[in-house]
């Protein structure tokens, strides 16, 4: 018996607990096998390491919202093992063997409580597996130290390979990345549209420098959300203003930038490897020293997941880490105060995933006038906003409630703004701000940094200038109308007089 077989060995006790499967009709599609053989041995060991202690239940932000026992880690582990044993266990193999006598199979089946698991039961497990933002909170609190995020992603990969996933509502994201290299169903050519618009609106002085022309040593990777979502444009705009103000030798890929592939990876689609490889080749060919990104999702993916596929000839930093390094070297000073009381939301992919807790706080502490009030759940216990892991596409209602819960926590600090370091969190938390009609302003860290460097908020200034221009136009129009009326009156007086 192999180790894998031993781990999926089914006991009568456990099979008795399994829910009763409905009888399959003639048209029911055959049950597809979950390809357990492609799962790393460590994963199976991890599955068996769960002591069912339930600590994860107390912390899971999704469970916090829907109280569905079936989505918590220990249940997902139990359910997956049941399916795995049913398809790959010793008894399952005997039951499927042509060499075992049918009568013996019947006796064995009865003795061991064996029954085939149907598509419906697998579909239920799949729904539960995707009702998770891969936030990693369970990993932090798990006393058995199970690396749950990798575990969920690995199980999703098996589910996709067996064509049971992702969920229908997530397929548009998946198709879009494959067709357009971005998850937002936008044409490739639209990736740099925001920059032309921003220049026209006076939000940036010039369009970002293209690294292919400048040969800069720092590549700024925007990511799809900052590039395409007009509501998140402040992240890209402020990052450009910061790099320009600090005279950094940076460059961007412009229309040649592609999705980092994180959406596919988190949902279990093996097609992420194509993007990983293409991006690695493109980045390495540039001869850069550093890749920076203001998106925590892109940052985590490029920094942690790309090296599993290929070597990176450069270092990868979140923009906030790059700035903290400059601060420590005395190359960054904040000349203007930013008099705001703010609270900070640690993005799961910067904080829990990569340990990036201090850099954002060091930057905020260095900005004069800025007051940080922490939420009770911060750093490794930061409550996820629900935007990641495909949850927003799969379960928008749950994401909305998760974001509202986080926004409520932020409101209770008395802060005027909620700050984060990720366009995805920006988008996700804004859902909660709108739903609660909160007075909190959503800010990306880049906007606080840019405001202190420039001495003003570019959006506020552009809005004030636009308002002034509109007012001037009205005044001119009124003046012209008054002049016309006066001329008319003069003429009339000349005629009558």
Nearest-approach distance from CB 172 to ligand SF4, in angstroms: 22
Task: Kindly tell me which of 117 and 398 has the beta carbon lying closer to ligand SF4.
Answer: 398
Question: How many angstroms separate the CA atoms of 159 and 119, rounded?
Answer: 12
Q: Which stretch binds ligand SF4 (CB under 6 A): 44-52, 318-326, 357-365, 404-412?
A: 44-52
**137 belongs to the binding site for ligand SF4 (CB under 6 A):** yes
Nearest to ligand SF4 of 31, 138 (CB atom): 138
Residues 243, 42: Cα–Cα separation, whole Å: 43
DSSP β-bridge partners for residue 441? 417
* Residue found by looking up tokens 């001119």 in the block: 476
Segment contacting ligand SF4 (CB under 6 A): 130-138, 165-173, 256-264, 271-279?
130-138
- Say whether residue 400 binds ligand SF4 (CB under 6 A): no
Residue 157 contacts ligand SF4 per CB under 6 A: no
In the complex, what is the shortest distance from the CB of residue 385 to ligand SF4, in angstroms, rounded to a whole number? Answer: 11
- Note whether 74 binds ligand SF4 by CB under 6 A: yes
Q: Least distance from C-beta 146 to ligand SF4, angstroms?
A: 5
Going through 339-490 in order, the beta strands assigned E by DSSP cover: 341-344, 371-372, 417-420, 441-444
133 is a site residue for ligand SF4 (CB under 6 A): yes
Q: How far is the CB of 120 from ligand SF4 (least distance, A)?
A: 23
Residue with tokens 């597809």: 32
Rounded Cα distance between 197 and 210, Å, is 17
Using alpha carbons only, what angle is made at residue 408 by residues 406 and 409, rounded to the nearest 5 degrees? 65
230, with CB counted inside 10 A (0-12, 13-18, 19+), is: exposed
The encoded tokens of residue 56 equal 């994860």
Provide, rounded to whole angstroms, the least separation between the CB of residue 46 and ligand SF4: 9
Residue 388 binds ligand SF4, judged by CB under 6 A? no
Let me know: does 237 contact 159? Beta carbons within 8 Å: no
Q: Nearer Cβ to ligand SF4, position 380 or 416? A: 380
Which one of 8, 47, 50, 317 is in contact with ligand SF4 (CB under 6 A)? 50
Q: Note the helical H segments in 60-118.
A: 63-66, 73-88, 90-96, 102-112
Q: Is the peptide bond before 161 cis (omega within 30 degrees of 0)?
A: no
Q: How far is the CB of 381 from ligand SF4 (least distance, A)?
A: 11
Residue written as token pair 């007012």:
471
Does the protein bind ligand SF4 through residue 73 (CB under 6 A)?
yes
How far apart CA 464 and CA 470 sit, in angstroms, is: 10
The span from the CA of 396 to the CA of 393, in Å, is 6
Residue from 53, 435, 467, 474 touching ligand SF4 (CB under 6 A): that is 53
Nearer to ligand SF4, 148 or 293 (CB): 148
- Determine if 136 is a binding residue for ligand SF4 (CB under 6 A): yes
> Pick from 34, 39, 47, 62: which binds ligand SF4 (CB under 6 A)?
62
In the list 44, 92, 122, 146, the residue contacting ligand SF4 (rule: CB under 6 A) is 146
Q: Which stretch binds ligand SF4 (CB under 6 A): 142-150, 208-216, 240-248, 414-422?
A: 142-150
Beginning with the edge strand found earlier in the chain, give each strand of the sheet holding 441-444 in spatial order. Answer: 371-372, 341-344, 417-420, 441-444
Question: 423 with 223: CB under 8 angstroms?
Answer: yes
Contact by Cβ (8 Å): 165, 276: no
* Secondary structure class of 417 (helix, strand, coil): strand
Comparison of 42 and 52: residue with beta carbon closer to ligand SF4? 52
Task: Check residue 42 for interaction with ligand SF4 (CB under 6 A).
Answer: no
Give yes or no for a contact between 377 and 407, defined as CB atoms under 8 angstroms apart.
no
User: Among the candidate windows 4-12, 88-96, 143-151, 191-199, which touches ligand SF4 by CB under 6 A?
Assistant: 143-151
Size of the site for ligand SF4 (CB under 6 A): 25
CA 341-430-246 angle, to 5 degrees, is 60
In the three-class reduction of DSSP (H, G, I as helix; E, B as strand; rest coil), residue 81 is classed as helix
Choose which of 44, 129, 142, 458 interacts with ligand SF4 (CB under 6 A): 142
Q: Which part of the chain contacts ligand SF4 (CB under 6 A), choosing from 10-18, 30-38, 85-93, 141-149?
A: 141-149
Using CB under 6 A, which of 39, 60, 403, 431 touches ligand SF4? 60
| Comparison of 21 and 147: residue with beta carbon closer to ligand SF4 | 147
Given the rule CB under 6 A, which residues bind ligand SF4?
A: 50-56, 59-62, 73-74, 132-138, 142, 144, 146, 148-149
């Amino acid at each position: 018996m192999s180790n894998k077989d031993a781990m999926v060995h089914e006991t009568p006790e456990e099979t008795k607990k399994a829910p009763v499967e409905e009888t399959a009709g003639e048209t029911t599609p055959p049950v597809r096998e979950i390809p357990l053989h492609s799962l790393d041995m460590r994963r199976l060991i991890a599955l068996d390491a769960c002591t069912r202690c339930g600590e994860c239940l107390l912390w899971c932000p999704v469970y916090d919202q829907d109280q569905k026992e079936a989505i918590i880690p220990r249940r997902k582990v139990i359910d997956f093992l049941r399916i795995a044993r049913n398809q790959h266990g010793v008894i399952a193999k005997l039951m499927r063997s042509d060499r075992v006598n049918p009568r013996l199979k019947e006796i064995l089946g009865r003795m061991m409580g064996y029954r085939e698991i149907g598509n419906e039961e697998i579909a239920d497990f799949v729904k539960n597996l995707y009702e998770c933002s891969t936030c990693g909170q369970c990993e932090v609190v798990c006393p058995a130290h199970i690396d749950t995020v990798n575990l969920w992603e690995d199980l999703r990969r098996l589910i996709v390979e067996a064509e049971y996933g992702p969920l229908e509502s997530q397929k548009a994201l998946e198709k879009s990345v494959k067709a357009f290299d971005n998850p937002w169903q936008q044409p490739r050519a639209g990736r740099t549209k925001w920059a032309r618009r921003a220049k026209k609106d006076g939000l940036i002085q010039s369009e970002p420098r293209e690294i292919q022309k400048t040969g800069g040593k720092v590549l700024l990777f925007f990511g799809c959300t900052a590039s395409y979502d007009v509501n998140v444009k402040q992240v890209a705009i402020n990052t450009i203003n910061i790099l320009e103000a600090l005279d950094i030798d940076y460059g961007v890929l412009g229309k040649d930038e592609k999705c980092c592939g994180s959406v596919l990876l988190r949902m279990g689609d093996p097609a992420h490897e194509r993007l990983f490889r293409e991006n690695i080749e493109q980045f390495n060919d540039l001869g850069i020293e550093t890749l920076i990104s203001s998106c925590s999702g892109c940052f985590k993916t490029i920094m942690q997941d790309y090296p599993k596929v290929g070597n990176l000839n450069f270092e990868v930093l979140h923009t906030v880490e790059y700035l903290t390094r400059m601060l420590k070297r005395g190359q960054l000073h904040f000349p203007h105060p930013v008099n705001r009381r703010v609270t900070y939301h640690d993005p799961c992919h910067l904080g829990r995933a990569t340990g990036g807790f201090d850099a954002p706080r060091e930057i905020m502490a260095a900005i004069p006038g800025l007051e940080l009030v922490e939420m009770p759940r911060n750093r490794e216990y930061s409550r996820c906003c629900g935007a990641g892991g495909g949850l927003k596409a799969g379960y928008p209602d749950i994401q909305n409630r998760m974001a509202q819960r986080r926004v409520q926590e932020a409101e209770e600090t008395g802060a005027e703004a909620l700050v984060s370091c990720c366009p995805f969190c920006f988008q996700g938390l804004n859902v909660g701000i709108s739903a609660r009609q909160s007075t909190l302003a959503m800010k990306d860290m880049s906007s606080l940094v840019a405001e202190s460097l420039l001495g003003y908020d570019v959006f506020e200034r552009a809005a004030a200038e636009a308002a002034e221009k509109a007012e001037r136009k009205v005044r001119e129009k009124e003046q012209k109308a008054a002049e016309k009326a006066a001329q008319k009156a003069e003429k009339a007086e000349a005629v009558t007089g």
